[in-house]
Amino acid sequence: MNVLLTERIYAPAKFIYDGKTYDVQVRYRGDNAIHWNAPKKFYLIKFDKDDLFNGYRQLSFIIIRDRYFALEQFNNYRAEKFGIYYPPSWFGNLKVNGKNNGVYFIIENWNKEMLAKWEVPDESNFYDDTFAETPAGVIRDDDIWDKLDYWQKLASDSSFNYEHYSELYKLLELYNNPDD
């Protein structure tokens, strides 16, 4: 179980839903062997930018026991009630090569297209941590709340001709040095 996926290689595939066929790219989702060494695997499906699936560019298919699916879906419901943005999620059956793999928790990946659907500026600074970029075999014991180096931009504000992280810097400052 200490084996890590070192290369994220996409394979071409067909995604069929409600009689429509999409040409997609698919790969295993997750780094650890638990995500890809069992009969039921985790998948990340990427749709062509000119042929989105119901407005989605990427979908993650997660085995429901892994993400405490009831709790996550409930938290998304609560976020909606509070007017907080969250990635759309639902449950669905997935067949792979004609074999029914059962129920998955399906969630859209955080991306620029999601910002556009929310009708917020899709050229806003939108961050993610860099832990997903960590080379295989490297164990990190740092904390993303310590410094800017542990963050990456998923979308950038193009009104500046340089990279700036001012709002993230302010968030980290408030988190690490709160005043009364």
- Please list the pLDDT of the chain residue by residue as tens digits (180 residues): 566 666 778 999 999 999 999 999 999 887 776 777 777 889 999 999 899 999 899 999 998 876 577 788 899 999 999 999 888 999 999 999 989 998 999 999 877 778 788 887 767 787 877 665 555 555 555 678 888 888 888 777 777 777 788 888 898 899 888 887
For the chain, the residue count is: 180
Residue located via tokens 């009969």: 39
HSE value, Cβ hemisphere, 13 Å, CA-based, for 61: 21
So what's the pLDDT on residue 125? 80
Alpha carbons 124 and 19: distance in angstroms, whole number: 36
Tokens of 64: 């429901």
Q: Are strands 58-63 and 151-155 parallel, antiparallel or unpaired?
A: unpaired
So what's the pLDDT on residue 1? 55
Say what the pTM is.
0.73
So what's the pLDDT on residue 153? 81
So what's the pLDDT on residue 116? 80
Radius of gyration of the chain from Cα atoms? 18
- For residue 33, give the DSSP letter: G
